[in-house]
Amino acid sequence: MAEIIDMPKLSDTMSVGTLVKWNIKEGQVVAFGDILAEIETDKATMELSCTVPGTILKIYAPAGQQLPVGAPICAIGKKGEAAPEPTAAPAPKAPKTAVPAIPEKAEVSCVPAAPASSGSVAPQSDASRTKASPYAKRMAEKAALNVATLAGSGPGGRVVGRDVAAAASAPAPSTPSGPLNVAVAPPADGKGIQPDADVPVGGMRQTIARRLLESKITVPHFYLEVEVDAAPLMAMRESLNKRLAETGADAIKLSVNDFILKASAEALRRVPAVNASWAGTSIRTHGAVHLSFGVALEDGLVTPVIRDAHAKTLKDIAVEAKALIGKARSKKLTPSEMSGSTFTVTNLGMFGVTGFYGIINVPNAAILSVGATIKKPVVDAQDRMVIGHRMVIGLSGDHRVVDGANAAQFLQALKQLLEEPALMLI
């Protein structure tokens, strides 16, 4: 019997997905594990594997279309079998971030997440007199909605769960779309550097924009930086890679970023206050160091996570980081491999950037930003002017969780580890 394949839910926060590319066509025979399509979620572009062997009877959704979770995308069955008629696709739900976070202080009043359609909101003067089911009240509290502003569809105007759900999923207030400088004249020579166009934004870029805006607005960032003598690190890296190369053709090659990741894990062991998160009314400390690091892709940025980095050797971290980078670039990362971090490292040194500050990857308390190693004149311990190898490392911290002293102690520990890299191997 033919089976309809629906748009899968590939992450906890996914409500819609973009069918980027089909790898099959109608009439093609597919086996278990074959890659049917590439789907862009709110976190990454991922491959959809076949779990129902058979013949592709019908493709319902063209490439490039954005579809809600549960929408039919294709049918698989026996050759010659008629493709079933798909049922209507469920309406996509608004992203969770369209609903404001629950206020951290009780005295801050809640407001509706978005204006509802006519007749769905009925202002009431006293929330205590609002008729609402206990379930609806709990839903409204979680969604940061004032139940007193909702019109009820239950008996006697009672607010029930579906009323809260409708208000929470209402469209966010409209914002100006398109470029603000729409009146800019085209290039005089008719050529220019690229076409004038409005490029559609995919799910990954929308999520990046939403999360970074949320972080920058809601998290009180502060910034510190330190300059590191990178000469000992470079010397050790060269020596270790030479020895590793002698062990065989498949030996791992250590990158500067591998050393940064290992040193970060060790520095967090020394200053665990930075390995924490803001939890609203408390600071949540984390016993394990789960390191995420940025991997640039053509259509965005992903942050795979090395779990329990505090318990792994430099080589373990290098091997795992290389595997995660490969999965990221081949679009095989799973949502679980991109979530649950406690600290993030971002490195733009390979692009020649000498220093910068990243935006905190919520709920992490800090993000480390690594610049390029450059040659510059420095004064050595004997007050001589010599050529040095210097690396600037920046730290963006969440001032709700981390104070300047804690952050400075962390950078101090990190600097020592990088300038005396043998300490990482103990």
- Both 162 and 305 in one domain: the answer is no
- Both 32 and 107 in one domain: the answer is no
- Both 296 and 147 in one domain: the answer is no
Residue 275 maps to a domain: yes
In the chain, what is the greatest distance between 2 CA atoms, to the nearest angstrom? 86
- Both 276 and 364 in one domain: the answer is yes
Written in H, E and C, the secondary structure of the chain is CCEEEECCCCCCCCCEEEEEEECCCCCCEECCCCEEEEEECCCCEEEEECCCCEEEEEECCCCCCEEECCCEEEEEECCCCCCCCCCCCCCCCCCHHHCCCCCCCCCCCCCCCCCCCCCCECCCCCHHHCCECHHHHHHHHHCCCCHHHECCCCHHHCECHHHHHHHHCCCCCCCCCCCCCCCCCCCCCCCCCCCCCCCCCCHHHHHHHHHHHHHHHHCCEEEEEEEEECHHHHHHHHHHHHHHHHCCCCCCCCCHHHHHHHHHHHHHHHCHHHCEEECCCCEEECCCCCEEECEEECCEEECCEECCHHHCCHHHHHHHHHHHHHHHHCCCCCHHHHCCCCEEEEECHHHCCCCCCCCCCCCCCEEEEEEEEEEEEEECCCCCEEEEEEEEEEEEEECCCCCHHHHHHHHHHHHHHHHCHHHHHC
User: So what's the pLDDT on residue 130?
Assistant: 62
Question: Which CATH number characterizes residue 346's domain?
Answer: 3.30.559.10
Summarize pLDDT for 36-74 with one digit per residue, the tens: 998 888 777 788 888 889 999 999 999 988 888 889 999
Quote the percentage of the chain above a pLDDT of 90. Answer: 48
- Both 277 and 346 in one domain: the answer is yes
Q: Which domain holds residue 102?
A: 96-168
- Both 325 and 268 in one domain: the answer is yes
Residue 359 maps to a domain: yes
Residue 390 maps to a domain: yes
Residue 189 maps to a domain: no
- Both 282 and 355 in one domain: the answer is yes
The pLDDT confidence band at residue 142, using thresholds 50, 70 and 90, is low
- Both 334 and 288 in one domain: the answer is yes
pLDDT at residue 26 greater than cutoff 60:
yes
pLDDT at residue 93 greater than cutoff 60:
no
User: So what's the pLDDT on residue 419?
Assistant: 96
310 assigned to active site: no
Q: What is the mean pLDDT of the chain?
A: 83
- Both 142 and 280 in one domain: the answer is no
- Both 315 and 399 in one domain: the answer is yes
Give the span between the Cα atoms of 47 and 206, in whole angstroms. 19
User: So what's the pLDDT on residue 199?
Assistant: 81
- Catalytic-labelled residue, pool 286, 310, 389, 399: 399
The pLDDT confidence band at residue 119, using thresholds 50, 70 and 90, is very low
The total number of structural domains that make up the chain = 3
Summarize pLDDT for 194-250 with one digit per residue, the tens: 888 888 877 778 888 888 888 999 999 999 999 999 999 999 999 999 999 988 767
